[in-house]
Amino acid sequence: MTALLELRGVTKVFSGGFFSRVPPLYALEDVSFSIPEDRPSITAIAGESGSGKTTLARILLGILSPTQGEVLYRGKPVSQMAGAERKQFRREIQPIFQDPFESYNPFYKVDHVLTTPARNFKIGRNRAEVNSKIEEALHAVGLQPEETLGRFPHQLSGGQRQRVMVARALLLRPRIILADEPVSMVDASLRATILDSVYTLNRQHGISVVYITHDLTTAYQISDNIIVLYRGSVTEAGSVETVIKKPQHPYTQLLVQSIPLPDPEKLWGELAARGDEHDGTIGGCKFASRCPHVLDICRSSRPVLYQIEQHRVASCFRYRDSPALAEGDITTVFASPAVEARA
């Protein structure tokens, strides 16, 4: 298995500077995973605010560089890339951001977000070729070019704007699309169409997707595998069928139990864990202070990732009898993308 994009032991620390009295913040701690080249998949990165998911996204895009560890693209450290190589990296990994309003300059027509990258990356030899590629990309995300082009951003709905962003990403024929909360600011009735176009990018155009979200329901719906982060560390990872259907880490269990299911017959039970604040435990498991199953060992040492079953790892001492994950690359337990046809 060759890795297209690989994170090796990535740690990101934000500190207030030499004279700062604020303790350094570990936004990410020792995260390793990779996106394989040969089978395009959808990987969800899930977590609450403060879990480090946006820091991870920025590191994957090369906007931030890790404090420790490496990001490799096609086996080469991204930090050492320059010139044409860096440009190719920039082209092959494309972002879709959260806010469909702020991604646009209101003074320009929406065409601008499509023609600018088309020009920068020279996707066509002449204007006619560029235009036909733009139209093709818009069709691929379910938009009619004649209803979209030539308009200003405020004349489109949030859902349409976000789909233009998906089309923009697709236009550059990237290898990886990184979608950071693409539907959290869009109405529920329009979410489905955006997620559907992201899903299509993967299944029909062979683009790997990293789907960053706080919403486990949509993560379950579109992803093959999931990585759950809590305060910068991976708590549980594996195929969505194992992790979301039968969570084993107490934090993932709490998350899944807290999902407001749209079913009045399945109400939330009593809450097992308490407090929405962490006490800044140093040394032990980060979740120990909130964990309903906390053991003595949890307060003194940090659990590693244990492989509980074929497609699941969890960093929890309840599973310390299972083998520790060698190398720490979570991807080894990921399930291959299912080639199921959606009913």
Partner 1 sequence: MTRRRTGTLAVEDLKVYYDTPEGVVKAVDGVSFVLKPGERLALVGESGSGKSTLAMALMRLTRAPGRIAGGRVLLDDVDLLRLNTQDMRNHRLRDIALIPQGAMNSLNPVMRTGDQIIDGIVDHVGDDGQQPSKTALREKVRSLLERVGLAPQVARMFPHELSGGMKQRVAMAIAISLDPLVIVADEPTSALDVIVQRQIMQTLGQLQEGLVASVVLIGHDMGLVAQFAHKVGVMYAGKLVELADVRQIFRDPLHPYTRLLIQSLPNLESKKKFLGIPGLPPTLLHLPQGCAFHPRCPAVIKGQCDSVPPVWGEIRRGQLVACHLYTETKS
Using the rule CB under 8 A, give the single segment among 57-65, 193-201, 202-210, 307-315 that binds partner 1: 193-201
Site for partner 1 in 83-142 (CB under 8 A): none
Residue ranges with strand state E in the chain: 3-14, 25-36, 42-46, 68-73, 76-77, 93-96, 176-180, 208-213, 225-230, 233-239, 306-309, 312-314
Query: Which of 80, 150, 261, 320 is close enough to bind partner 1 by CB under 8 A?
Result: 261
Sheet hosting strand 93-96, strand order edge to edge: 93-96, 176-180, 208-213, 42-46, 225-230, 233-239, 312-314, 306-309
Instruction: Return the number of the residue (270 or 296) whose C-beta is nearest partner 1.
Output: 270
CB 219 within 8 A of CB 46: yes
Query: Which of 146, 276, 296, 321 is close enough to bind partner 1 by CB under 8 A?
Result: 276
The CA distance from 322 to 307, in Å, is: 6
Q: Which of 46, 27, 33 is nearest to 256 (CA)?
A: 46
**Could you give phi then psi for residue 119, rounded to 5 degrees?**
-75, -45
Q: Is 221 near partner 1 (CB under 8 A)?
A: yes
Q: Is 277 near partner 1 (CB under 8 A)?
A: yes
Query: Which of 216, 227, 229, 237 is close enough to bind partner 1 by CB under 8 A?
Result: 216
**How open is the CA angle 267-289-217, to the nearest 5 degrees?**
35
Q: Is 59 near partner 1 (CB under 8 A)?
A: no
Q: Is 190 near partner 1 (CB under 8 A)?
A: yes
Name the token pair of 162. 């976000």
Instruction: Return the number of the residue (50 or 328) whose C-beta is nearest partner 1.
Output: 50
Query: Which of 159, 182, 284, 303 is close enough to bind partner 1 by CB under 8 A?
Result: 159
Q: Is 14 near partner 1 (CB under 8 A)?
A: no
Q: Is 187 near partner 1 (CB under 8 A)?
A: yes
Interface contacts to partner 1, rule CB under 8 A = 48-49, 157-160, 187-193, 195-196, 199, 214, 216-218, 220-221, 244-245, 254-256, 258-265, 267-268, 271, 273, 276-277, 340, 342-343
